[in-house]
Chain A
Amino acid sequence: MPKNRLTDNLSDIWKLKKRGKRDSDRHKELVRDAIKKQGRDLITEYNIIRSDGNKKVKVPIKFLDQYKIKNGSSSKKGVGQGLDAKPGDRYRLRKPGKKPGKSGAGNEEGDVSFEAEVSIDELVDILLEELNLPWMEPKDSSEIEIENDEFSSIEKKGIMPNLDIKKTLIQNIKRNAAAGDAKVGDFKNEDLRYKVWDVEKEYQSNAAIYMMMDRSGSMSEEKRYIAKSFYFWMGQFLKRRYKNIKIYFIAHDVRAYFVNENEFFSINSGGGTQCSSAFKAAYDHIVAHHSAQYWNNYVFEFSDGDNWGDDNRLCVEYVEKLLPLVTAIGYGEIDVNGGRSWMGAENLLSTILHNEINRTRFVSLKIGSKDDVFDALRSFFNIDRFGYRATKK
């Protein structure tokens, strides 16, 4: 007779109780890596954009796929029971996934998905890493180290564009005078003096963000959604960096209006478009309230490029006026239809700005669909980086 018995030590011998946890931790780690790779998709995830603040959001997460050689479609054959049926009878099926909750019961690999709770903060971590924006990470102290790119010392070695002509001329005259002939000319390398980007450390944690958007009739819901995704993450990222953040929403047609967030993303008007009105409003506001000495100003404008021709020059003018006052400034042109035939590319505001304003703190972007938001964010926050890079010796 077989000896069947109760035991009580297998769990210990086989080190049970630990394996499931260890391997599910490992799985979660790999899922996290996978989310990172999906960063692009998450950027425009509707549920995330809709939420505000640091609330937890539901992110649909697939379990990691285990790759197999497997069939392209599941079997179409089946066996059922308990129906008075005859051959040829047809039964309609409810569409799968319509019954919330029930879909989780599937047991086919790859079919399984569930929603994981991820806080916005965790997502920002993941995205910053994926966007490769480590300088956006919060610093240890509550004060944030700001590096000012002032030309504050003059040195002998440098690169040509930074040549300080005035100092060089003086040096040249001095040298010639010492040789008995006080004139300008016969330049030698030793005359050359350069401006050097010096790093001044300040402890400053204020940022003002100007989110601006064209609200003319041609800005469809899709375009506004793209702008909203961009602005959502822009706000989230900057929150990481600055303690004190002020956000201003400026909607415009031919005139600019300061509005609240809700109005900003919902209102449409039938009017025309003069983007300069928004840049001017931001400029006036910054001059009045947010001097660059104490504030890191971020200015961004979204339009679909339908700007009135003679307004384009004005835009260039205001962007140039804004440049010394901001940490970063950008313009995004949303063109979801892919190119417009009636307006030459050379006349688009994005093209004009791109050609005219050749400065590291400015970027002009074209956005074709919500998939481009990820790259747009990267470009915008990269000007931030290059701005600082220029300050390094």
Chain B
Amino acid sequence: MNMTLDEAIEKITADAEELGLEYFPVNFEIVPIDVMLEVMSYGLPTRARHWSYGKSYEYQKISGEMGYSKVYEIVLNNDPSYAFLLDTNSLIANVMVAAHVIGHVHFFTNNYLFKQTDRKMVYQAAARAQRIEEYIEKYGIEKVEHFMNIAFSMDKHIDWHKGVHRGTYSGPKRVFKKKAKREFDDLLSKDKKNVKEVIENKGFPPHKEWDLLWFFINYAPLETWQRDIFEIIREESFYFYPQFYTKIMNEGFASYMHAELMHRFDDIAPEDHLEFCKIHERVVQPGSNKLNINPYFLGFTIFNDIKKRWDKMHKDGESEITGLQKIYEVVEAEDDISFVKNYLTQELVDDLKMFAYKRAFDKSRNEFIQIESMDKDDVAEHVVSKLYNYMSPEVYIERASSDGIELVHSSQDNTTLDEKHLEKVMEYIYEVWGGMVNVSTKDVNGEEVNYTYDELGFSHISDDDLSSSLFAGMD
């Protein structure tokens, strides 16, 4: 290429404007692989330290060294945006990646989900990380880490529609005290406050509460620094939510755009062009595993199809807008669930030979897959089935009082909860709430199961005997 990366970015910027892209300015930085993996592990490079990012970093390193994954770029949703390119990439590769990044930033800037995120998150995260450093200084790494572990154990359980900033329930502000932990303390205490409170708090929370961290931030007997940690991690969860819900679209659009922008380089040497094609192919290939579909490929294919269909309709006078305009509209208004359901056509499903399947085991415990359908609605449903509820079980708080807290898992398709993890999370909640924790769910056969965590530890009742359920018999 007879231009520098600087010049190439300048050209891409001009071409992007011509194409009608509107986006936050981007700061590009070329970094070595270690920094790249670090930024990737953190998601937000400025956020507070936690061992889980170290774990992810190690994992990325190992899989990179083994050749399982190759990372080209990382881009942050922020105004201005920040993007990281790899120093070992060839110039042509980084030019293409820069074009791809601009696609992402347009997506961040315009998509309806992203519009609800904090655009100064990179700086917010840095300030919060500073506060957490102070907590570490004051309370020690173990305590702070422990509270972060607790917050991360529930961070996917937010209520997007109620939003990141929401007021407390109407009515008088309730405060819950920690219940005495020793067995006979309630007998020894002079007033029978605890007993009364259970009855008083019959209707609390006033409705199913899905935002677990929010609930504990507002109603659990936490110390200020603990509450702050919960708030920080909850807000980060809201920040990352749109990325999770737009993976197919976001990658598809960025890939569509890098192809579009790269076509406008007319003086690319043949060997550079060949390399560009190779990388592009690698990014948007269907995937060698036939039981999977590469989201880059799926998104890219659907956007190309939208372009083609709307250009034709526009030409035939059936649509006022062109294919590209339609693409911008889709980018603004959809998320992966609606995108796949609305724009995956039967023709595409047939062309790509897509199929919906289920996994099962035969009598001799060998796993097999069974093809269920090639109908586009079924295929679309299967594609998005993993996205619902932030990829987490649906769990809400049913009731809470000073005595304890009851959560319900509304199980879909007989999905169960991972018991080992549940036990630990219930232990966390027990600590946070300061009273007995109850979780009701169903087992694989659809039978009711009740888990309890109290001063005696973890136990479960799966029989008809639910009498020890915290609130049994109260209704």
Q: Does B91 contact A (CB under 8 A)?
A: no
Chain B window 6-37, contacts with chain A (Cβ cutoff 8 Å), 1 for yes, 0 for no: 10010011100100000111111111001101
Knowing A69-B153, A72-B417, A91-B369, the reply to whether A19 touches B357 (Cβ < 8 A) is: no
Q: Are B290 and A81 in contact (CB under 8 A)?
A: yes
What distance in Å separates the Cβ of A39 from its nearest Cβ neighbour in chain B? 19
Q: Which residues of B contact A66 (CB under 8 A)?
A: 52, 55, 149, 152-153
Q: Are A2 and B374 in contact (CB under 8 A)?
A: no
A4 touches B58 (CB 8 A): no
In the assembled complex, B3 has its CB within 8 A of some CB on chain A: no
> 1/0 contact trace for B58-77 toward A, CB 8 Å?
11001100101100000000
Contacts of A80 in B (CB 8 A): 290-293, 354-355, 357, 369
Q: Chain A 33-73 against B: per-residue CB contact (8 Å), 1 yes, 0 no?
A: 00000000000000000000000000000011111111111
A25 CA / B50 CA spacing, docked (Å): 11
A95 lies within 8 A of chain B by Cβ: yes
How distant is B121 from chain A, measured CB to nearest CB, in Å? 13
B395 at the binding interface (Cβ < 8 Å): yes
Contact B27 A75 (CB under 8 A): no
List residues of chain A with CB within 8 A of the CB of B66: 101, 104
Q: A65-B421, A66-B153 are in contact. Are A82 and B29 (CB under 8 A)?
A: no
Is residue B187 contacting chain A, with contact meaning CB distance below 8 A?
no
- A84 on the B face (CB < 8 A): yes
B173 within 8 A of A: no
Contact B352 A11 (CB under 8 A): no
Is A92 in the interface zone, CB < 8 Å from B? yes
B373 within 8 A of A: yes
Which of B162-170, B261-269, B398-406, B422-430 is the interface stretch?
B422-430
Query: Contact partner of B290 among A24, A83, A114, CB < 8 A?
Result: A83
Q: B292 to A20, Cβ gap below 8 A?
A: no
Q: Would you call A393 an interface residue if the criterion is a C-beta within 8 Å of the partner chain's C-beta atoms?
A: no
Among A1-45, those with CB < 8 Å from B are 1-8, 10-11, 14, 16-17, 19-20, 22-28, 30
Contact A71 B55 (CB under 8 A): no
- Within the complex, the shortest CB–CB distance from A32 to chain B, in Å, comes to 12
* A88-129 contacts to B (CB < 8 Å): 88-93, 95-96, 101, 104-105, 112, 114
- The reply to whether the CB of B415 lies closer than 8 angstroms to some CB of chain A is yes
Residue of A nearest to B4 (CB): A6
In contact, A70 and B54 (Cβ under 8 angstroms)? no
CB A391 to nearest CB in B, in angstroms, measures 38
Question: Which one of B28, B55, B59 has the greatest number of beta carbons of chain A within 10 Å?
Answer: B55
Would you give the shortest CB distance from A21 to chain B, in whole angstroms? 8
B126 contact from A14, A20, A71, Cβ within 8 A: A14
Question: Which residues of B (267-312) have their CB < 8 Å from a CB of A?
Answer: 286-287, 290-293
B174-216 with Cβ < 8 A to chain A:
none
CB distance B58 to A89 under 8 Å?
Answer: no
A67 to B385, CA, bound (A): 23
Q: Given the complex of chains A and B, what is the CA–CA distance between A63 and B63 in angstroms? A: 14
- List A contacts of B360 (CB < 8 A): 76
B424 touches A67 (CB 8 A): yes
Query: B29 is contacted by which of A8, A24, A69, A75 (Cβ under 8 Å)?
Result: A8
A178 within 8 A of B: no
B residues in contact with A96, CB < 8 Å: 367
B128 at interface, CB cutoff 8 A: no
Q: Which of B41-92 contact A (CB under 8 A)?
A: 41-42, 45-46, 49-55, 57-59, 62-63, 66, 68-69, 82
> Is the CB of A86 closer than 8 A to any CB of chain B?
yes
| A69 with B286: CB separation less than 8 A | no
CB under 8 Å from chain A, chain B span 144-166 = 149, 152-154, 156-157
Q: What's the least CB distance linking A111 to chain B, in Å?
A: 11
Distance of A16 Cα from B52 Cα, bound (Å): 16
> Nearest Cβ distance between residue A369 and chain B, in whole angstroms?
22
Question: Which B residue sits closest to A22, measured CB to CB?
Answer: B49
Q: A19 and B368 in contact (CB under 8 A), knowing A71-B416, A73-B416, A87-B374?
A: no
Do A79 and B379 touch across chains, with their CB atoms under 8 A apart? yes
Query: CA–CA, A155 to B211, complex, Å?
Result: 72
Q: Decide: A20 and B37 in contact? CB cutoff 8 A.
A: yes
Cross-chain contact B58 with A63 (CB below 8 angstroms): yes
In the complex, A80→B425 CA distance in Å?
Answer: 34
Which chain B residues lie closer than 8 Å to A6 at the CB level?
Answer: 5-6, 9, 27-30
Indicate if B260 sits at the interface (CB-CB under 8 A). no
Chain A residues, CB < 8 A from B57: 20, 23-24
B313 within 8 A of A: no
- Residues on B with C-beta less than 8 A from A112 are 59
The answer on a CB contact under 8 Å between A7 and B28 is yes
Q: How far is A78 from B292 in the complex, measured between Cα atoms in Å?
A: 7
**Interface contact A19-B49, CB-CB below 8 Å:** yes
Shortest CB-to-CB span from A167 to chain B, Å, is: 53
Tell yes or no: A85 within 8 A of B by CB.
yes
Residues of chain B from 382 to 402 with CB closer than 8 A to chain A in the complex: 382-383, 385-386, 392-393, 395
Known: A67-B424, A78-B357, A93-B368. A23 touches B50 (CB 8 A): yes
Q: What B residues does A16 contact at CB under 8 A?
A: 31, 35, 38-39, 45
By the criterion CB–CB under 8 Å, are A24 and B395 in contact? no
Given contacts A23-B54, A67-B421, contact A82 B30 (CB under 8 A): no
Residues of A within 8 A of B41 (CB): 20, 23
B35 contacts A69, C-beta separation under 8 Å: no
Q: Per-position contact with A for B339-383: 1 when CB-CB < 8 Å, else 0? A: 000000000000011111111100000111111111000010011
**Does A82 contact B352, Cβ atoms closer than 8 Å?**
yes
A16 to B366 Cα, complex, angstroms: 47
Contact of B368 among A85, A91, A104 (CB under 8 A): A91
Chain A residue at minimum C-beta to C-beta distance from B366: A92
User: In chain A, residues 364-390, which have Cβ atoms closer than 8 Å to a Cβ of chain B?
Assistant: none
Q: Tell me, yes or no, whether A77 is within 8 Å of chain B by CB.
A: yes
Instruction: Report Cα–Cα, A88/B157, bound state, in Å.
Output: 37
B372:A104 contact, CB within 8 angstroms: no
Taking the complex as formed, is B475 at the interface, i.e. its CB lies under 8 A from any CB of chain A? no
Note all chain A residues with C-beta closer than 8 A to B291.
Answer: 78, 80
Knowing that A24-B58, A86-B371 touch, tell me 9 more A-B residue pairs with CB under 8 angstroms. A2-B26, A10-B29, A23-B50, A64-B55, A69-B421, A88-B370, A90-B369, A91-B369, A104-B66
18 A-B Cβ contacts within 8 A? A2-B17, A14-B126, A16-B45, A19-B53, A67-B149, A67-B425, A70-B392, A70-B418, A70-B421, A71-B393, A77-B359, A78-B369, A80-B292, A80-B354, A81-B286, A81-B355, A83-B290, A84-B353
Which residues on A are within 8 Å of B, measured CB to CB? 1-8, 10-11, 14, 16-17, 19-20, 22-28, 30, 63-73, 75-93, 95-96, 101, 104-105, 112, 114
